[in-house]
Structure 1
Amino acid sequence: MSQGSNFVDYVKICCRSGKGGAGSAHLHRDKHTATGGPDGGDGGRGGHIILKGNTQFWTLLHLKYRKHIIAEDGGAGGSGHKFGKQGKDEILEVPLGTIARNAETGEVLFEITEDGETKILTAAGRGGLGNAHFKSATLQTPRFAQPGEAGKEEWVVLELKVLADVGLVGFPNAGKSTLLSVLSAAKPEIADYAFTTLVPNLGIVSYRDSKSFIMADIPGIIEGASKGKGLGFRFLRHIERNSVLLFMVPADTSRTILEEYEILKNELREFNPELMQKPHLLAVTKSDMLDEELKTEMEKELPQIPHIFISSVAQQGLVELKDMLWKAINAPLENE
């Protein structure tokens, strides 16, 4: 099984919430009362379908094969003002960064961003009122009650945006997977050809004094990704949730480093201009082949953002890179 096969960031499910129980139209009767008033209780509400954030989940895999989510119906009201039983809620635990949308309109319903946060995905039907509610001066013995409200049935899409402190942005083969494997315990697939990474990889990077931060290797962007070319949209969506973007350009790029950075930046801007508000840092990768003189020459043409020359394979510049990232993660958003 490849490392990508159990990462699921998109599921479409049919949700059916519970219908409300009917109210009771019971009239009070006992051995002392032959013609008592109404004492019918209310029906219970049906079960909601609820999303709940859970930091232990990284993927929507557990929902991939649950196409139909059905909550319990509410119970009917009873005599003696007894309430009907409430239908059991169906609670779906999801990773943080999960977005719920209406499958037909594409409208975003809400997003789950905190551990333990709950939001109703599909609301249940309310229980009907018992006949006790309908008693009045002119109607002493109402012999009717409300039926319960129907539940809702709808198709919903759940999408996951990866939450990380640092997102690695670069063309295929820029050295993102290699960097992640060297800095963290993540074991991404690495090869010398483009598009090795087809799903985001997350790694926890240890820092000084037992601190740590999360880094996400986001699959390589290609020019035109923002217009949906290739799998562009699916990939770019993950970048929205990272707090710092580390642009990675190899020293041996066929373009200039500035050109490559501008193309990458343009893809992000086209997709979502708000990405320009995040701190941008630059790592020139595969720099073990450069001598100091060449680095000094290249410095003149680099974009005006914090930058560093690194080599994951030769372990050059990695401590300084972590310092730079830590500073950017914990600084207020004042860059760019």
Structure 2
Amino acid sequence: MHNDTGELVAALDIGGTKIAGALVDGAGRLLARARRATPADGDAATVMGAVAEVLGELLADGRRPRVRAVGIGSAGPVNAAEGTVSPVNVPGWRGFPLVAEVGRLTAGLPVVLVGDGVAMTAAEHWQGAARGRANALCLVVSTGVGGGLVLSGRLHPGPTGNAGHIGHISVDLDGDLCPCGARGCVERIASGPNIARRALETGWRPGPDGDASAAAVAAAARAGDRAALASFARAAQALAAGIAATATLVEIEVAVIGGGVAGAGEVLFAPLRERLRDYATLSFASGVEVLPARLGSDAGLVGAAAAAADACGLWETAGPGGRRH
């Protein structure tokens, strides 16, 4: 259900390789798109220049009067309370005042910033696998492991827009040092690069094409390679422990998993569901379902729009149990 006033949100999905933008309507449709490569080695102004080009393209086609807000999902860390971003893979942006800069470019439209994991969560709750679920954790498993929460039918970004960041729950007390500074984080075990690293360390070898990605490890696992299977099993165990911890803490009913590594399919999901039974043992946590995400590469844009609409009271994005607009 959505309104019919034609209100649009300009959505931005900002990562280390691309800056994508779209105009999104109240049914979650992407009506116009724009995209630039992220000038990740550039200074702050150069990166902002690419954002300005994307916004300029979106707002130049006569739909500008219908645009009511701007939603931004950005690689983190983000600080929604301050309106700043410091994406790990964009060194030119450290504490960069993105909300203020975008507000300046759009003549004072409301600008809502969330982390990319929270954006994906907003998308899956509004239009995807978590639709109609009042309490959910959504995970993005790719180069890193991010996430977000829906609690009591509402997106729960937290004060800085990072709530639900399951990648940095420690699941191995004396485990490997994570780049974040802690030990044994879910991300240090379950991200794509770490799945590939562990497979290589335990005897898996890439094929003649030299592809050493997690997708190549997944293909080898499907073909029965023991090191590849073991690396995915270890990633699944880490994810299961993190999901169980979350279910125990806030009583989620579903965990939705997206991102490139989720493309491995049952190589990941089968051991994950199996190991979840080992960790989610209490009655109120044991029923948590694990589902693949539905929205794919557009989740960041759809979710950035949903988060902005939710914050500004534009459309009914909350779903059953949530606030009605």
Same fold (TM over 0.5): no
Q: Return the structure number with greater helix share.
A: 2
Q: Which has the larger radius of gyration?
A: 1
TM-score by length of 1: 0.26
